[in-house]
Structure 1
Amino acid sequence: MSELPSKPISLIVAMGTGRVIGNQGEIPWRLPADLAHFKKTTMGQPIVMGRKTWESIGRPLPGRRNIVLSRSEMSAEGVECFTSVDEVLESCSADEGEIFVIGGGEIYSLFLSLAQKVHLTEVEGDFQGDAFFPELPAGEWKEVSRVTRPADAKNPHICHFLLLERC
């Protein structure tokens, strides 16, 4: 699958220094502002996640079509499960809008070459992690927008909301 699919695909991710996105099945920070950004961006759209991300969330996210991509057959209430990227893309072909890939690291790697956009939250801080966002190939992405949000009582880390588009 070398060409970009006609259905727009976006990755949405929050990562700390060193590309950390998770640690022992959890997000290593608490940022309600980023969760609100995630909800606003993905609401009404299909979201694709791996089995580990699904297990860490533990329930379908409301207002979105929840899709789990796993190497092994599985079933769970409120989600659709597939074993290949092609199956996911075929199942989403009639959906309006774009497909949002929400993690984890392996799933991001599978969809990176197909994505047209990356909604990236850079979280300032060094965090322990065992899950990482893949390296974005140099020269393939351009920054379209950046909004910096200062830390506050509820959001203890400075974060930057970036939109990247494929060149």
Structure 2
Amino acid sequence: MITMIAAAAENNELGKNNSLPWHLPDDFKRFKALTTGHHIIMGRKTFESFPKPLPNRTHVVISRQKDYNPEGCIVVSSLQDAIAICPKNEELFLIGGGQIYALGMSYCDKIELTRVHHTFEADAFLPEINPEDWLLSNSEYHAKDPNHPFAFTYETYLKK
């Protein structure tokens, strides 16, 4: 199973200047819980936005740079190659960025989305989730609180 996992604001904003415009600790915990122990596929810029590789996950980085070889990562040149090197009988996660999400939408079986209830300036966007192709199977709202400056909703979509 291929799962896209993302956090996006009301207008599908993902981030700006290779960083998230929000800090939601519970979303980070959910991301960690869902992706730990799995292969995570990402673009080079997403990988480089991390201070260090994420623990207990196999990093598959897509890059057009021929000499790109960060320690502890598998580097491939296409999404198809990234999917091909992952175990077939395990869930794998597309974790961004915007270009990888756009390329991967047709490959995914499930989307785990954190919808942040605010708008932000952004330069990276999540593709539209077409309701003709996707069924919202679960939705869990979280109000803003002292640790979360914005309300958000966890949404799980399944391909129809």
Instruction: Tell me the TM-score range normalised by the shorter chain.
Output: over 0.9
Runs of 4+ deviating beyond 2 Å: none
SS at match of 2:48: helix
Residue equivalent to 1:86 = 80
Which letter does structure 2 place at the counterpart of 1:75? N
The structure with the greater share of residues assigned to helix is 1
Which letter does structure 2 place at the counterpart of 1:164? Y
Once the two structures are superposed, what CA deviation does each residue of 1:35-82 show, in whole Å capped at 9, x if it has no partner?
011001111110011011011113211011111011222100121110
1:99 pairs with 89, 92, 100, which one?
A: 92
- Give me the TM-score of the superposition, normalised by structure 1: 0.91
Which letter does structure 2 place at the counterpart of 1:63? N
Note the C-alpha offset of 1:93.
3.1
Note the C-alpha offset of 1:90.
1.7
Gaps of 5+ in 2: none
1:35 pairs with 21, 28, 48, which one?
A: 28
Q: State the aligned residue count.
A: 159
SS at match of 1:129: coil
CA distance in 2, matches of 1:46, 1:103: 13
Which letter does structure 2 place at the counterpart of 1:129? A
1:157 pairs with 150, 157, 160, which one?
A: 150
- The answer to whether the Cα contact below 8 Å between 2:3 and 2:93 also exists between their aligned partners in 1 is yes
Which letter does structure 1 place at the counterpart of 2:42? M
SS at match of 2:69: coil
Q: Percent identity?
A: 35
SS at match of 1:34: helix
Gaps of 5+ in 1: 1-7
Note the C-alpha offset of 1:84.
1.3
- The answer to whether the Cα contact below 8 Å between 2:79 and 2:100 also exists between their aligned partners in 1 is no
CA distance in 1, matches of 2:2, 2:110: 7
Which letter does structure 1 place at the counterpart of 2:77? T
Residue equivalent to 1:138 = 131
CA distance in 2, matches of 1:87, 1:122: 29
CA distance in 1, matches of 2:137, 2:148: 24
- Give me the TM-score of the superposition, normalised by structure 2: 0.95
RMSD value, Cα? 1.1
CA distance in 1, matches of 2:75, 2:33: 24
